[in-house]
């Protein structure tokens, strides 16, 4: 069964404590927290204080996705705020190996996010150094977008690369995950489903999480 990571970008920020309680009581394993800087992506979300506040509410994994430029300047701060996983974009990191080593030296699991236009073979020389890949199945920066179908091909390609090298790297799918496509995504080789609107906009979010969990 897949790991379910509700994306708090789609949560009700006026009821954030209640949303955290719901996810804590659900079958979800990860809290997915999207950080946007208005530079790498054309949007601004939330930052360190919100991550630190959410961290106080949960013992579950805080999966922090940095959609920002110069992520190395903030890695230690996000560790201090409570991140368990820290994911940086390959497109934002000209010295990617240095970024990954920094994240690991701080005691976090290191991930690389890949935009829809970026081939997975760009990960070839660093795949053995990371814990997970976040395959963006929408263009980063906004919630509520539709899943890009070609992502299924990229999942299969990445799964083959991981298996051939006998690695334990997880594949995380971020964007447009629904009840209708979750099974196909997991069958293609995904391990982690990031779901925002599908969870938080449902009339029964906890049941929505359970349904996604069972689909896999």
**Residue 100 structure tokens:** 């990954």
Alpha carbon separation from 18 to 143, 151, 197, 202, 205 (Å, rounded): 20, 33, 16, 15, 12
Feature table: binding site for substrate: 7, 65, 141-144, 174-176, 196-197
Domains of the chain: 3-215 (3.20.20.70)
Q: Is the pLDDT of residue 216 over 70?
A: no
Q: What is the mean pLDDT of residues 45-50?
A: 96
Q: How confident is the model at residue 180 (pLDDT cuts 50, 70, 90)?
A: very high
Single out the residue of 38, 29, 91 nearest to residue 61, CA to CA.
29
Q: Return mean pLDDT, the chain.
A: 96
Please give the share of the chain, as a percent, with pLDDT higher than 70.
98
Feature table: binding site for a divalent metal cation: 32, 34, 65, 174
Q: Is the pLDDT of residue 50 over 80?
A: yes
Q: Is the pLDDT of residue 86 over 90?
A: yes
What's the pTM value of the predicted model, to 2 decimals?
0.96
34 counts as catalytic: yes
If you ran DSSP here, which 8-state letter would residue 146 be given?
P
Feature table: binding site: 7, 32, 34, 65, 141-144, 174-176, 196-197
Select which of 34, 37, 131, 191 is catalytic. Answer: 34
**Residue 171 structure tokens:** 């594949």
Select which of 37, 63, 131, 174 is catalytic. Answer: 174
Q: What is the mean pLDDT of residues 24-32?
A: 98
List, in sequence order, the alpha helices (H) in 32-181.
Answer: 48-55, 75-81, 96-105, 151-164
């Amino acid at each position: 069964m897949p790991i379910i990571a509700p994306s708090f970008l789609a949560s009700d920020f006026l009821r954030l404590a209640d949303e955290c309680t719901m996810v804590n009581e659900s079958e979800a394993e990860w809290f997915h927290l999207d950080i946007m800087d208005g530079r790498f992506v054309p949007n601004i979300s939330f930052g360190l204080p919100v991550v630190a506040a959410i961290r106080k509410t949960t013992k579950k994994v805080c999966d922090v996705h940095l959609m920002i430029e110069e992520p190395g300047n903030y890695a230690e701060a996000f560790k201090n705020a409570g991140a368990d996983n820290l994911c940086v974009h390959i497109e934002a990191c000209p010295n990617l190996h240095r970024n990954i080593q920094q994240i690991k030296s701080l005691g976090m699991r290191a991930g690389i996010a890949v935009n829809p236009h970026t081939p997975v073979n760009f990960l070839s020389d660093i795949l053995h150094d990371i814990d997970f890949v976040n395959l963006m199945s929408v263009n980063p920066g906004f919630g509520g977008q539709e899943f890009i179908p070609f992502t299924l091909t990229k999942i299969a390609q990445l799964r083959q690369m991981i298996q051939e090298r006998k690695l334990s790297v997880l594949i995380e799918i971020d964007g447009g995950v629904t009840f209708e496509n979750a099974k196909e995504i997991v069958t293609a080789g995904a391990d982690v489903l990031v779901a925002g609107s599908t969870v938080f906009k449902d009339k029964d979010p906890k049941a929505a999480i359970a349904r996604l969990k069972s689909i896999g």
